[in-house]
Amino acid sequence: MKENKLNSQQEQIEKLEELGSRLRQCRTAQSLPIEEVAARTRIQARLLNAIEEGRLDQLPEPVYIRGFIKQFAEAVGLNGVEFASTFPMGSSLPLLRSTWKHLPTAQLRPIHLYGVYILLVIGAVNGLSFLVRRSATPVAYLNDYPQQNQQLPAPNTLPAMNLQQKLGDNKASEVTQRGQNGKSVQVGVTLKAKSWMRVVVDGRLEFEGFLPEGTQRTWAADEKVSVLAGNAGGVMVEFNNKSAQPMGAPGVPQEVTFAANHKSRS
């Protein structure tokens, strides 16, 4: 029995290291600090760090660890239920059985312990479900998460698409056409799905955070506007009043720079 318990614990440690590594990759790909994830999930940052680093000895019981993994995954845009279901729960029932032989038969029978155990499990599950519902936060969904051995690109190596060519290149109007407030670069976005966004205008950070479906925003610049989206397929972008186009594929991070010289670079 002791050997089975050790094997179960080792399996939990190995799986936690795997899941924690994938969560860290997804979080850093979106440039999300651990403190922001902690604020959205209402889970202490030290527990989130323990999950990312696979430190099982610094975490509570497996049922709570699975709940924390679910909330962490949803906060970075993953399917929390599916992602957390791979974490092994183990079983504490054999340990309960081993204690029955030390109890007087007339005072407590095994059937009583079964009832107490079931009530405790039901109470824990209901309490965890309540906490998860209260802490639910809209996130950008990355639907196609890479497999175990596939690495997410670092933020500074995200591929860029020359959307300005797709939106049309009319150099003759570059001098005469001006956007709002006399700016030469005007970029508008319409959210077809929830997405995390970061917008930098002429080197200044103008917006960083989550935008819900249906949001419409416009930014204007003298030189360039850089847009980074966590769910590129859910963001329709319009450059200098040209036809709107999706930034990229659904569930994929994408960064595009719109410049007065009609060049896009990541």
- Which pLDDT score, from 0 to 100, does residue 125 have? 78
Between CA 67 and CA 51 the distance in angstroms is 12
Contact 57, 16 (CB under 8 A): no
Same domain assignment for residues 110 and 162: no
What pLDDT is attached to residue 109?
53
Angle, nearest 10°, between helix axes 2-29 and 93-100?
A: 150
Residues 68 and 163 reside in one and the same domain: no
Measured between alpha carbons, how far is residue 211 from residues 32, 72, 92, 216 in Å? 15, 19, 43, 9
Do residues 175 and 122 share a domain? no
| 194/113 same-domain check | no
Residues 167 and 111 in one domain: no
10-residue averages of pLDDT along the chain (266 residues): 73 92 94 94 95 93 94 94 90 41 45 72 78 53 40 44 46 40 87 94 94 95 93 93 92 90 56
Measured at the alpha carbon of residue 190, what is the angle toward residues 185 and 191, in degrees to the nearest 5?
Answer: 135
Dihedral Cα 220, 226, 232, 235, nearest 10 deg: 0
The answer to whether residue 142 sits within a structural domain is no
Where does residue 261 fall: left (phi above 0), alpha (psi -120 to 50 degrees), or beta otherwise?
alpha
CA distance 31 to 139: 14
Handedness of CA 85, 195, 33, 159 (dihedral sign): positive
Instruction: Return the pLDDT at 114.
Output: 64
Q: 0.85 exceeded by the pTM?
A: no
Check if the beta carbon of residue 228 is closer than 8 Å to that of residue 198.
Answer: yes
Do the beta carbons of residue 246 and residue 190 sit within 8 Å? no
Total number of domains in the chain = 2
CATH number for the domain that contains residue 51? 1.10.260.40
